């Protein structure tokens, strides 16, 4: 959940101590070192089949200047983030949004560290051998910050098991990656019905006092079939082909006193987008736009857009994204039978049904305040 902005200052104070503790053992495998080619690549010492699997996922076995070895994931290197893992550590490093931007580090849904501005690398020494973790690296933004360059990363990292061939262990995991991945963005009204907006007795839509709009009557459930808008992008990794699908749910109007359906219309989906922008190595870039006008409220519309890079190995980044805060927004990834939530946000105000001037925007590329 997102806490109020007031909690942000307290979080920074805590983060200073956490950042100090993490610096006791500095990362050896960093973005800066990778770009300066300071690693010795030892992938060539392994079998050809293993090397091919690693290459298909932008993974390498490298040795640092200190002599340590790690599996380095460069699948999102072009997006400014790097992960490296040994049996008992995970190194993370990234390009900051700005020198004054603090970052939040989350592991498997739990806060790991709150990092002060200027921190661009972190070594997790609590990682255990033979484990899989998801690390989220998230910029902490001011509430009115809609910077399109804000970018958050989510990295799936495997640590090698002890007493096994490190590279072969990681390669065997990578080999089991799903053949397809589906990225979905769904918006929905959580209530069964919601009152039509009226201000100072003035009807702002075709239907006003005494009428209700039909909702979708569910929470953040990827299996739910009812929605206001839906966009899906299906990636086939063998070809990096992307198949986009978009749709808009029908809007229903009911007489509140009787519950009788009095009207229904379906808005156009012509401005909905789910498409491939490009691909590089083991990752694909997707652009999504959700836009559907309220057919009964001239100025109202569900509206938002973002760009995501997704890797074959299960990592992703999200940027250039914001949306109006009505209705609820749910972005998730379906990958080989497993669902990962990318973004969930409850709506801020029913007035967004009326028009954009009454509706604040939310930035998908970062968090406001603290994480709980």
Q: Is the Cβ–Cβ distance between 370 and 13 less than 8 Å?
A: no
Mean pLDDT of 106-129: 96
Please give the C-alpha separations between residue 1 and each of 218, 322, 350, in angstroms, as whole numbers.
Answer: 18, 18, 20
pTM above 0.95, yes or no: no
| CA quadruple 153, 290, 360, 208: dihedral sign | negative
Find how far residue 336's CA is from the centre of its chain. Answer: 18
Reported as type and span, the H/E element at residue 171 is helix 166-175
CA–CA separation, 317 and 308 (whole Å): 6
Which residues share a beta bridge with 202? 199
Place of tokens 């994480």: 371
Q: Is the pLDDT of residue 354 over 80?
A: no
CA–CA separation, 86 and 62 (whole Å): 11
Instruction: Give pLDDT, residue 11.
Output: 42
CA–CA separation, 119 and 77 (whole Å): 18
| Domain layout of the chain by residue ranges | 7-175, 180-368
CB 222: neighbour CB atoms within 10 A? 13
Print the SS3 string covering 306-361. Answer: EEEEEECCCCEEEEEEEEECCCEEEEEEEECCEEEEEEEECCCCHHHHCCHHHCCE
CB 361: neighbour CB atoms within 10 A? 15
Proportion of the chain above pLDDT 90, given as a percent? 70
Fold of 7-175: Immunoglobulin-like (2.60.40)
Q: Which of the four pLDDT bands, split at 50, 70 and 90, describes residue 153?
A: very high
Mean pLDDT of 37-48: 84
Q: How many CA atoms within 13 Å lie on the side-chain side of 149?
A: 6
Q: Tell me the two tokens of residue 201.
A: 């007795």
The b-or-e profile of 169-194 (16+ CB within 10 A means b, else e) is bbbebbeebeeebbbbbbbbbebebb
Q: Tell me the two tokens of residue 315.
A: 């990592």
Which residues share a beta bridge with 83? 73, 92
Please give the C-alpha separations between residue 364 and each of 99, 157, 209, in angstroms, as whole numbers.
Answer: 20, 23, 34
Instruction: Give pLDDT, residue 218.
Output: 98
Q: Is the Cβ–Cβ distance between 161 and 129 less than 8 Å?
A: yes
User: Taking the CA atoms of the chain, what radius of gyration do you get in angstroms?
Assistant: 23
Q: Which of the four pLDDT bands, split at 50, 70 and 90, describes residue 357?
A: low
Mean pLDDT of 216-243: 98
Q: Of all residues in the chain, what percent are helix, strand and coil, respectively (each to 5)? A: 15, 45, 40
Read off the pLDDT of residues 170-220 as tens digits, 9 standing for 90 and up.
Answer: 888 898 899 999 999 999 999 999 998 887 778 888 999 999 999 999 999
Place of tokens 């893992």: 85
Q: Is the Cβ–Cβ distance between 328 and 345 less than 8 Å?
A: yes
Read off the pLDDT of residues 236-256 as tens digits, 9 standing for 90 and up.
Answer: 999 999 999 999 999 999 999
Q: Which of the four pLDDT bands, split at 50, 70 and 90, describes residue 23?
A: very low
- β-pairing, 121-124 vs 90-94, is antiparallel
Backbone angles phi, psi at 125, to 5 degrees: -95, 5
């Amino acid at each position: 959940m997102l806490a109020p902005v007031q909690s942000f200052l307290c979080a920074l104070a805590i983060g200073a101590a956490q950042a100090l503790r993490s610096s006791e053992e500095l990362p050896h495998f960093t973005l800066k070192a990778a770009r300066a080619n300071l690693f010795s690549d030892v992938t060539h010492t392994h079998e050809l089949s293993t090397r091919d699997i690693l290459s298909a996922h932008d993974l390498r076995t490298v040795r640092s200047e200190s002599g340590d070895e790690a599996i380095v994931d460069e699948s999102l290197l072009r997006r400014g983030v790097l992960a490296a893992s040994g049996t008992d550590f995970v190194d993370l490093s990234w390009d900051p949004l700005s020198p004054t931007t603090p970052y939040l580090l989350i592991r498997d849904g739990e806060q790991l560290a709150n990092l002060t501005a200027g921190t661009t690398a972190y070594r997790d020494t609590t990682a255990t051998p033979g484990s899989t973790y998801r690390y989220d690296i998230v910029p902490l933004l001011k509430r009115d910050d809609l910077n399109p360059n804000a970018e958050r990363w989510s990295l799936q990292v495997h640590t090698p098991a002890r007493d096994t061939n490190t590279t072969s262990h990681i390669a065997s995991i990578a080999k089991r990656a799903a053949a397809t991945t589906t990225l979905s963005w769904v918006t929905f009204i959580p209530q069964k019905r919601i009152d039509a907006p009226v201000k100072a007795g003035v009807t702002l839509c075709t239907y006003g006092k005494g009428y209700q709009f039909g909702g979708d009557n569910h929470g953040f459930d990827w299996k739910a079939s009812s929605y206001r808008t839906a966009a899906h992008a299906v990636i086939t990794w063998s070809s990096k082909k992307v198949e986009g699908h978009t749709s808009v749910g029908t809007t229903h109007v009911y007489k509140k006193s009787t519950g009788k359906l009095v009207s229904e219309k379906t808005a156009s989906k012509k401005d909905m987008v789910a498409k491939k922008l490009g691909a590089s190595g083991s990752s694909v870039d997707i652009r999504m736009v959700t836009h559907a006008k309220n057919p009964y409220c001239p100025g109202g519309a569900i509206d938002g857009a973002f760009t995501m890079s997704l890797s074959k190995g299960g990592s992703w980044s999200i940027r250039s994204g914001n949306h109006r805060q009505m209705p609820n927004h749910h972005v998730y990834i379906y990958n080989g039978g497993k669902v990962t939530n990318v973004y969930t946000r409850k709506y801020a105000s029913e007035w967004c049904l009326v028009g954009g001037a009454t509706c604040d925007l939310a930035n998908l590329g970062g968090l406001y305040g603290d994480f709980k």
